[in-house]
């Protein structure tokens, strides 16, 4: 499964009123793993930038004056997201701006270039009702470090959002499933080994290790708003 985590910065808040996209950042995930592939554009908006927007992202008309126009990067952007599932925080905002940019060029909507859209703001509100669900708040809640983020930046925010999304949707994956998945991606076959004849020592956790384990389960329970798998009573045979 190919997913693209996307973020934009803009000249203001009103796409229909003429505000433009000035930065785009996209990072690629394949089967829920960051592939290392990304694209990033600074864009000359050919107009002024609201002072409030500059306070958020720090991008000025002077800095963007020698950057490409949207028409110059549209095809590269379209090709990168083609058919992929999009992951965006507050998706209507970014999609509204990108659709408006594609419309100016006489192209089909940006939204039509990709597949399904996952709005992490909607997902976060379902999981954490009544709480703050900004990207910064989610980073803090899910222990994703954003210490290096002083201003908004499209590529940095897309990278942070990728980690937030993975943390928010990680579930309780089986370690064996991860090993099998990694092997299959590398084109390797997994051989079964008979361990029935081996006598393995049993190593019990120390009191400190047990306490650390309980603290980890407490955090999992808080995130799940329930009881994690490891605290459920085993099924009777």
- Asked whether residue 114 is assigned to any structural domain, the reply reads yes
- The CATH number covering residue 46 comes to 3.30.420.10
Strands 21-30 and 85-88, sheet pairing: unpaired
Question: Do 17 and 97 form a contact (C-beta atoms < 8 A)?
Answer: no
Model confidence pLDDT, tens digit, residues 102-151:
999 999 999 999 999 999 999 999 999 999 999 999 999 999 988 777 67
pLDDT at 165 over 80: yes
- Asked whether residue 183 is assigned to any structural domain, the reply reads no
Does 152 participate in catalysis according to the annotation? Answer: yes
Q: What is the pTM of this model?
A: 0.71
For residue 216, what pLDDT is reported?
76
Instruction: Tell the residue number behind the tokens 């708003």, with chain if given.
Output: 225
- Asked whether residue 6 is assigned to any structural domain, the reply reads yes
HEC readout, 200-235 = CCCCCCCHHHHHHHHHHHHHHHHHHCCCCHHHCCCC
- Greater confidence (230 vs 15) lies with 15
Model confidence pLDDT, tens digit, residues 176-213:
444 445 544 555 555 666 656 666 677 777 888 778 77
Catalytic residue among 57, 89, 152, 163: 152
Question: Do 224 and 142 form a contact (C-beta atoms < 8 A)?
Answer: no
- Radius of gyration, CA atoms only, the chain: 22
For residue 224, what pLDDT is reported?
66
For residue 191, what pLDDT is reported?
60
For residue 175, what pLDDT is reported?
42
- Asked whether residue 87 is assigned to any structural domain, the reply reads yes
Q: What is the DSSP string of 99-140?
A: HHHHHHTTPPPGGGGS--EEEHHHHHHHHSTTS--SHHHHHH
**Range(s) of the domain holding residue 160:** 2-168
């Amino acid at each position: 499964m190919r997913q693209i985590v996307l973020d934009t910065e803009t000249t203001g808040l009103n796409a229909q009123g003429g505000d433009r996209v000035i930065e785009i950042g996209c990072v690629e995930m394949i089967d829920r793993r960051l592939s290392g592939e990304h694209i990033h554009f600074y864009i000359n908006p050919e107009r002024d930038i609201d002072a409030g927007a500059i306070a958020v992202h720090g991008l000025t008309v002077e800095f963007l004056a020698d950057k490409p126009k949207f028409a110059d990067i549209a095809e590269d952007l379209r090709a990168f997201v083609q058919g992929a599932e999009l992951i965006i925080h507050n998706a209507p905002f970014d999609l509204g701006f990108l659709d408006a940019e594609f419309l100016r060029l006489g192209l089909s909507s940006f939204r039509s270039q990709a597949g399904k859209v996952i709005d992490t703001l909607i997902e976060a509100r379902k999981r954490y009702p009544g709480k703050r669900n900004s990207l910064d708040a989610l980073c803090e809640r899910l222990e994703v470090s954003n210490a290096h983020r002083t201003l908004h930046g499209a590529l940095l925010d897309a990278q942070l959002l990728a980690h937030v999304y993975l943390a928010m949707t990680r579930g309780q994956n089986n370690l064996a499933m991860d090993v099998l998945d990694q092997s299959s991606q590398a084109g390797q076959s997994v051989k079964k080994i008979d361990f029935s004849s081996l006598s393995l020592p049993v190593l019990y956790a120390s009191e400190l290790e047990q306490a650390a384990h309980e603290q980890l389960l407490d955090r999992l329970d808080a995130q799940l708003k329930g009881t994690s798998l490891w605290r459920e009573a085993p099924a009777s045979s």
